[in-house]
Amino acid sequence: MKSLTEHLWFEVPTRRGFLNITPQVEALVRRSGIQEGLCLVNAMHITASVFINDDEPGLHQDFERWLEGLAPHEPLSRYQHNRTGEDNGDAHLKRTVMGREVVVAVTDGKLDMGPWEQIFYGEFDGRRRKRVLVKVLGE
């Protein structure tokens, strides 16, 4: 079995944002040389997500509005977690809703996804460097 482990680094300049990271993941699958297997992509921070959905700007605005409705950033006093001196209580909740990781099948050397599926990095407490782990396993 072959395997490849890499970290992708992101620094989103705003508090929140979504990045389409599909091209970077595809490049790692190619570099792994596998034809059949699995690709795991997970955020290594508890205030960021990796998820799969459509690369459509209106949908991203809908996610932003929906998440702000579920867990608004302010007032900061709303969150017990912010009593630690942090201001990211909302970001932990948003991360949990949007998920930690995705696993995508690799078939014939390519990510085997539906026609509109794209892999996103979801940032909920940005303005600092954060890592995403990519592990490709197969033969």
Interface positions with Zn ion (CB under 5 A):
86, 88
Nearer Cβ to Zn ion, position 32 or 47? 47
- Residue in the structure block whose two tokens are 């017990």: 80
Nearer Cβ to Zn ion, position 40 or 97? 97
First to last CA, the chain: 5
Note whether 2 and 33 are within 8 A (CB). yes
CB of 84 to Zn ion, least distance (A): 7
CB of 92 to Zn ion, least distance (A): 6
CB of 70 to Zn ion, least distance (A): 17
Nearer Cβ to Zn ion, position 32 or 88? 88
Nearer Cβ to Zn ion, position 5 or 84? 84
Note whether 112 and 15 are within 8 A (CB). no
Closest residue by Cα to residue 138 from 32, 17, 18: 32
What would the two tokens of residue 33 be? 């040389």
What would the two tokens of residue 109 be? 């050397």
CB of 15 to Zn ion, least distance (A): 13
